[in-house]
Structure 1
Amino acid sequence: MTRSLFRLAMCGLLFSGSGLLGACGTATVGENDSAAPAAGYPVTVDNCGFQQTFQRPPQRVLILQGASVGEAETFVSLGLESAVAANTQFYGVSDIPGMADKVAALPKAGLTLNDAADVPAEQALALRPDLVVSTWSGGFDPKYGFASRDMLHQAGIRTLVNPVNCAYGKPRDITAAEERTYRDGSTESSLRFVELIGEVFGVRDRASALTDQLRGRIDAVRGKVEGKPPKRMLIAFPDMSVMNANGLPAVFSGNIYDSVVRAAGGEPSFPNGGWDLTGNLSAEQLAAAQVDVLVVGAYRPGEDLDAEAAKLFAAYPQWNASKNRTYVKVSDGIYLGPANADAIEKIARVAHPYAF
């Protein structure tokens, strides 16, 4: 895969993109369904300026790839696997024990991704889903060969974008609130998507129980590390070096990444770095960084993160983390999704061992 295509494929994971790509329309659908609404319905939601009414829980969901796994993990966490007709999200490793296998077990329906690394319009329509879910608005951009929200609406298919990413990939009519939500993405953004799916699928109590539990775990960590000197933390994914113009490990910073670090009692080595940092970080910048804790991430199964940490320590012996061999291994928990609490607990236990 070329670097440009890899960067496009990763866009759903990276909130701090250098540009806004994609398409998102405005329409109202579902009011004229002939069947009587199910109990607790109709449910109307305004999603990225696209108002839709659901007369019953969706039963054939297509989850677009978007270089994300958080949406698929949300469906699994809410026990909604049976509603998924096809899932194209995959990561292969998770900070939540057993989650990777559960995501891998979701049906794939034989779909193939196009050169832009997601489901082409003709396959999405042929699947005949009643709901299509994308991690970002760009997942509905026809210039990449994807079906637009308007096109799917005309076929009677509802659509949802993870609300934190409404502004990401939306070519027009971006509101100030959408820009602010995108810019301020955090662990709370992961929980808001859980609540949205709970509302649409009529499982609000289940969603509330899950968000209360996850938020409680994150708040418990914050309470334990409160008042302790924050540790400087660097999130690095060695196997994503293709994302960096200089061949260095991908270093993630900004939005949800900084939120995870701060919840674990840290401060990012490069606060609010965003896509420019990920793509253009130099060896000199990395050498000069203050790093007390290396947060080393797995992109795919089978990576030897102990060996990768050792390589970074050898390359940057001046880091405090290198001197003390202080590192923690994570995977999906630093991205948007229900695994944030698991990653935060892991990181905090290494950064502040005496607090636990």
Structure 2
Amino acid sequence: MFTRTLSRVALSALLLAGSGLLAACGSDHAASGGQAQDGAAGYPVTVDNCGFQQTFDKPPSRVLLLQGASVGEVETFLLLGLGDKIVANAQYYGVSDIPGMAQRVDSLPKGGLKLNASADVPAEQALALQPDLVVSTWSGGFDPKFGFASRDMLQQAGIRSLVNPVNCSYGKPKDVTAAERDAYTAASTTSSLDFITLVGRIFGVPDRARELVDQLRVRMDAVAQKVNGQPKSKMLIAFPDMGMMNANGLPAVFSGNIYDSVVRAAGGEPAFPNGGWDLTSNLSAEQLAAAPVDVLVIGAYRPGEDLDAEAAKLFAAYPQWNASKSKSYVKVSDGIYLGPANADAIEQIARVAHPAAF
């Protein structure tokens, strides 16, 4: 099992990288972070990614996936059948809403990586692996102030780099555009699908990417049809194991952007709509007590967490919630973040919130 020390920098990346998603797909959105134009034969493929333009003459074959407190990127590679292109993967939770996915991620090569104090791959190790592509969930994964290799440094070594386009503005040292900021603050599960499409273009498997996107969209649309017209349950997303991110020792409560998108896709409404990062870090016990909660969405970040026990603790602490009275809760993990597991989480949440519709 790949072990790692979770720093505040890395956990911040998880919370915020998951919150910056594009509102819709299409060339206008892709152009701000990951527009690709390819010739008649498929290659070369030129990508303008966060203002960093690169040309791919062939599919990358030695990929390093930086940690960034994310699994959305590695899961995308696996679902596209590109696991054999990964020379080293630093992304790992040990839990997933996609059945069997945690085991698949854990079986990928680790490349002997030792993460630095910022909980990601230091520059010297990234260069020593001699990858031909390094992928980060956020621009901060290429910031030298955290000990990481910059995109310029990698380019000088003949190594291409890729940031999940929705997170271009997050951690970008300079030259952040208004379009990048807007993409980051907008929210939709569609951004998870946009990244699948981009990876498919770069690796020469656009049909495979289109098929995966279509499958995930069909599943999410099916849920939308079933919950259409149903009462909108108020939902609270809480991750007890991330309590260190709250100054008051409360569970991390996720709100805004991708989190609200997942909740709404499941036929609910967030208890703290558009709460954002400030809510997650500064939520008070009084605010939590007063929140309208019909369904508790309780999340696991690491394997071995007893979410049933954690839900019981929250119900005992906040007996006034409707969810506490009905004992209504659903267990999730990676599906509420940026990545292809969104459909799985949406299905799970919707079944608990609207059992009669299923």
Distance change in 2, residues 1:110/1:165 (3 Å): same
Distance change in 2, residues 1:16/1:344 (3 Å): closer
Shift of 1:11: 1.1
Q: Is the aligned partner of 1:158 residue 2:160?
A: yes
Paired position in structure 1 for 2:257:
255
Distance change in 2, residues 1:226/1:46 (3 Å): same
TM-score for both structures, normalised by structure 2: 0.91
The one of 274, 278, 282 aligned to 1:276:
278
> Which residues of structure 1 form unaligned runs of 5+?
19-36
Give the letter for the 1:184 counterpart.
Answer: A
The one-character-per-residue Cα deviations of 1:322-343 (angstroms, maximum 9, x if unpaired) are: 0000000001000111000000
Q: Is the aligned partner of 1:246 residue 2:244?
A: no
> Which residues of structure 2 form unaligned runs of 5+?
21-38
Give the letter for the 2:130 counterpart.
Answer: R
CA distance in structure 2 between the partners assigned to 1:180 and 1:162 by the alignment: 15
The one of 200, 204, 229 aligned to 2:206:
204
CA distance in structure 1 between the partners assigned to 2:273 and 2:182 by the alignment: 17
CA distance in structure 2 between the partners assigned to 1:212 and 1:236 by the alignment: 30
Paired position in structure 1 for 2:94:
92
SS at 1:236 equivalent = strand
Shift of 1:13: 3.8
Instruction: Check conservation: 1:15, 1:274, Cα contact below 8 A.
Output: no
CA distance in structure 1 between the partners assigned to 2:115 and 2:40 by the alignment: 34
Q: Is the aligned partner of 1:328 residue 2:330?
A: yes
Give the letter for the 1:215 counterpart.
Answer: R
The one of 280, 296, 315 aligned to 1:313:
315
- How is 1:1-356 mapped onto 2 (pairs within 5 angstroms)? 5-15=7-17, 40-356=42-358
Q: How many residues align?
A: 336
Give the letter for the 1:105 counterpart.
Answer: S
TM-score for both structures, normalised by structure 1: 0.92
Distance change in 2, residues 1:7/1:131 (3 Å): closer
Instruction: Check conservation: 1:16, 1:183, Cα contact below 8 A.
Output: no
Paired-residue identity, % = 76
SS at 2:16 equivalent = coil
Distance change in 2, residues 1:90/1:316 (3 Å): same
Instruction: Check conservation: 2:17, 2:137, Cα contact below 8 A.
Output: no
Shift of 1:239: 1.0
CA distance in structure 2 between the partners assigned to 1:314 and 1:15 by the alignment: 32
CA distance in structure 2 between the partners assigned to 1:108 and 1:55 by the alignment: 26
The one-character-per-residue Cα deviations of 1:23-57 (angstroms, maximum 9, x if unpaired) are: xxxxxxxxxxxxxx995211111111111100000
Give the letter for the 1:177 counterpart.
Answer: A
CA distance in structure 1 between the partners assigned to 2:138 and 2:274 by the alignment: 20
Give the letter for the 1:229 counterpart.
Answer: P
Shift of 1:16: 7.8
CA distance in structure 1 between the partners assigned to 2:41 and 2:110 by the alignment: 30
